[in-house]
Chain A
Amino acid sequence: MSKELVLFFLKRITGVSTTLFVLFFITFFTLRLAPGGPFDTERAFPAEVRANIEKKYELDRPMWVQFSHWMRDVVHGELKDSFQYFGKPVKEIIVESLPSSILLGVLALFFATGVGIPLGCLAAWKKNQWVDRFVQLIAVSGLSLPSYLLASLLILLFCTYLGWLPPALWEEPKSLILPIVTLSVRPLAILIRMTRTSMIESLHSDYIRTAYSKGLSDSKILFKHALKNSLIPSLTVLGPITANLITGSFLVEIIFQIPGLGKHFVTAVINRDYPLVMGVTLVYGTLLVFCNLCVDLLYHWADPKMRIDA
């Protein structure tokens, strides 16, 4: 490894740790400063009971002490127990629900890239023809349709009227279809637009003209020469897209009753289940940072011009 590469990694690692620390800090204190607490019930507990509960969960200590204890526990690989699922370790909840969230996100990512990039190419190839218009209509509709509405329409059509697919739950491969489609529509639309724009640009460039004059076939020019260069802009959005697929799945998880992490995040925030919120934040933060790192590496691999600035 060269010296520059070591420096690059050191810089990245400090950057990543600061980002994560800020994230935990913000999440922790936002949630704590919010009115209401985990043990606020309709009928108030007797004062002694309350004091005991708060003592057990360290809620009576100053906030910064609680935060530093949480950080210490994380370093030791401890995550405490959830409040809302009495005594269930946060670690267990995460281990149970993370796989479905990741499966959902990864499949949606494959679907979005697998359909979005070819459609974008097609639209650029047939620019201003009816195919292009149609693809662009799909893209702009995808951007304008909130995921819960799309989900409702899909459920109405495929479950209520046609009866082809199950409306909810996470049991058979068939029940994956609607959640994946719902989750991937927005990234799909974004990818179509990005690929189309950059593809049109590269189809006008000199090296494509050269390729034509060499007598190469259309498909070879399109897929071998133009596509590779026009994928670079799409790669930049892949980071945020992956992030949104993993963390943005909460609505889809709620609608289709999928036992995923996003659903836990929302209910935990609402119920002030501090340990669970922090646990999910830890997982999300790590995943997001990891995704971004992967995209950076991909970027370096795809665009040699980027390597100089590293």
Chain B
Amino acid sequence: MKGKKLFSISIGFLLLISLFSTFAPLVTKYSFEEQNISERLESPSFHHWMGTDNLGRDLFSRILYGARFSLLSGVLATLIALLIGTITGTVAGYWGGWVDHVLMRIIDFFMIFPTLLMAILLMVLFGRGFTGILFALALTSWITQARLVRAQTLQIREMEYVEAAKALGLGPIKIIYKHILPNLWGPILVSLSIQIPTNIMSESMLSFIGLGLQPPYSSWGTLANEGFRAMKSFPHLIIFPGLVLFLTLLAFNYLGDELRDRYEVR
């Protein structure tokens, strides 16, 4: 019961924050780049719910608009990773042999080396900004998807209905598409719920060290970076972006836990 309640609250929170950020202009009357020097570094008040930053920009608006980049980069990077991971994972799991061997080597390699350092290297290759982040995160996170999909495919491959399909003369691509993929939805959903928050967090860390989006655009990571520098005198600048980021990740984690129990993926 407790799990279910948290599950609903988490979904509600994530929906709310996606809606708010999508329709940000309707939610807040301030723009994210509008500067107002006479109202700079204000504490939270009725006019500015979360205060203003050092250029007088409304922090609440900046967080809402920042959510667009934070959520979008996390979700899109995970979807790209999912596409690569599902293709390589099913192919390697179904055919086995040298294809599988090569994939396993690559997976082993990535398992040893920390993804965030790889992402930093890739960031300088692709350039700072949204696309750079997207590719850096996607290329470092498809391994997790591939590993999971491969393991599941290995199991499904041995099922009787797959054997029956083979006996009926179905080709491998049809078998993968018709019989293996439909059975992968549960694990894929679970892996999405784990990978999306991981990527949102990675994005915020890359942005925090200054490798992410460039001004005037901002994500929660860049906001936290600005907030960190002024933290001692104006703690609201880091507390609000941090709180929203934390709650979002928390919601994703509760979501993932519940899905994991439901689909019994370890």
Contacts and interface: CB of A to CB of B under 8 A. Distances in A.
Interface of A: 19, 22-23, 26-27, 30-31, 33-36, 140-141, 143-149, 152-153, 155-156, 160, 239-240, 243-244, 247-248, 250-251, 254-255, 265-266, 269-270, 272, 284-285, 288-289, 292
13 contacts: A23-B109, A23-B113, A145-B246, A149-B245, A152-B224, A156-B235, A160-B231, A240-B112, A248-B116, A251-B205, A270-B124, A270-B211, A285-B113
Contact of B232 (A26, A160, A254): A160
Interface string B31-62: 00000000000000000000000000000000
A149 B246 contact: yes
Contacts of B242: 149, 152-153
Contacts of A33: 125
B189 interface: no
Contact of B201 (A34, A146, A266): A146
* Dominant SS among interface residues on chain A: helix
Nearest to B254: A140
B249 interface: yes
B174 to A, nearest CB: 35
B125 A30 contact: yes
Interface string B193-215: 00001000100110011010000
Interface string B86-118: 000000000000000000000011011110110
Nearest to B198: A143
B124 A34 contact: yes
A33 B228 CA distance: 32
Interface of B: 108-109, 111-114, 116-117, 120-122, 124-125, 127, 197, 201, 204-205, 208-209, 211, 224, 227-228, 231-232, 235, 238, 242, 245-246, 249-250, 252-254, 257
A94 B124 CA distance: 23
A247 B238 contact: no
Given A143-B253, A144-B197, A251-B208, A27 B121 contact: yes
A288 B117 CA distance: 13
A144 B231 CA distance: 21
Nearest to A186: B201
A19 B109 contact: yes
A123 to B, nearest CB: 14
A26 B122 CA distance: 10
B204 to A, nearest CB: 6
Nearest to A27: B121
A284 B250 contact: no
Given A144-B246, A251-B209, A285-B113, 15 more contacts: A19-B108, A23-B109, A30-B121, A31-B125, A140-B253, A144-B250, A145-B249, A149-B246, A155-B231, A247-B114, A248-B116, A251-B205, A251-B208, A272-B124, A288-B114
Contacts of A244: 114
A272 to B, nearest CB: 8
A131 to B, nearest CB: 15
Nearest to A246: B114
Contact of B205 (A30, A146, A156, A240): A146
A240 B250 contact: no
Nearest to A141: B250
Contacts of A31: 121, 124-125
Contacts of A156: 231-232, 235
Nearest to A167: B232
A269 B120 contact: yes
Contacts of B253: 140, 143-144
